[in-house]
């Protein structure tokens, strides 16, 4: 079963917690147990799973990426977002999350984050929910 989520990002670079949206999509699917594949159909955004308790973790991740892959650099791509493409390549465009009894199986401190690297924009998230 395929589902599409939409989000509106509000900054050039930010991590947006989409755990609740993914959880609702999985619950609504009526698939009891299986794997939810989360796919980002954009080339300047990604998806990752990390701590959702202390927001400074998101800040450290984004600052690390910005420091090592600066917005303005000696890039060949001339649209002003070469850094965004590189960040997306490192973070990745898909993750898999397991679920049982309609509940996402995540560790205590884990959340699922949409990673915006060239916003603010309207963005899509595609889900495939497979199982029994």
Q: Which of 28, 54, 50, 41 is nearest to 97 (CA)?
A: 50
Query: Does the footprint of a copy of itself cover residue 80 (CB under 8 A)?
Result: no
Q: How far is CA 79 from the centre of its chain?
A: 23
- Whole-angstrom CA distances from 21 to 27, 64, 104, 123 are 10, 27, 11, 14
Pick from 21, 29, 91, 114 the residue near a copy of itself by CB under 8 A.
91
110 to 129, contacts with a copy of itself by CB under 8 A?
Answer: 110, 124, 126, 128
Binding region for a copy of itself (CB under 8 A): 2, 33-35, 37, 39-43, 48-51, 54, 56-57, 59-61, 63-64, 68-69, 75-79, 82, 85-86, 88-98, 100, 105-110, 124, 126, 128, 130-131
């Amino acid at each position: 079963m395929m589902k599409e989520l939409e989000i509106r990002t509000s900054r050039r670079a930010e991590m947006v917690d989409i755990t609740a949206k993914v959880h609702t999509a999985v619950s609504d699917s009526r698939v009891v147990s299986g794997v939810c594949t989360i796919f980002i159909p954009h080339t300047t955004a990604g998806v990752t799973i990390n701590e959702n308790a202390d927001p400074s973790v998101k800040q450290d991740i984004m600052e690390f990426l910005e420091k090592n892959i600066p917005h303005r650099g000696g890039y060949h791509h001339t649209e002003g977002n070469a850094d965004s493409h590189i960040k997306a390549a490192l973070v990745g465009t898909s993750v898999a999350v397991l679920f049982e009894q309609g509940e996402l199986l995540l560790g205590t401190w884990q959340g699922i984050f949409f990673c915006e690297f060239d916003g603010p924009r309207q963005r899509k998230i595609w889900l495939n929910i497979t199982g029994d």
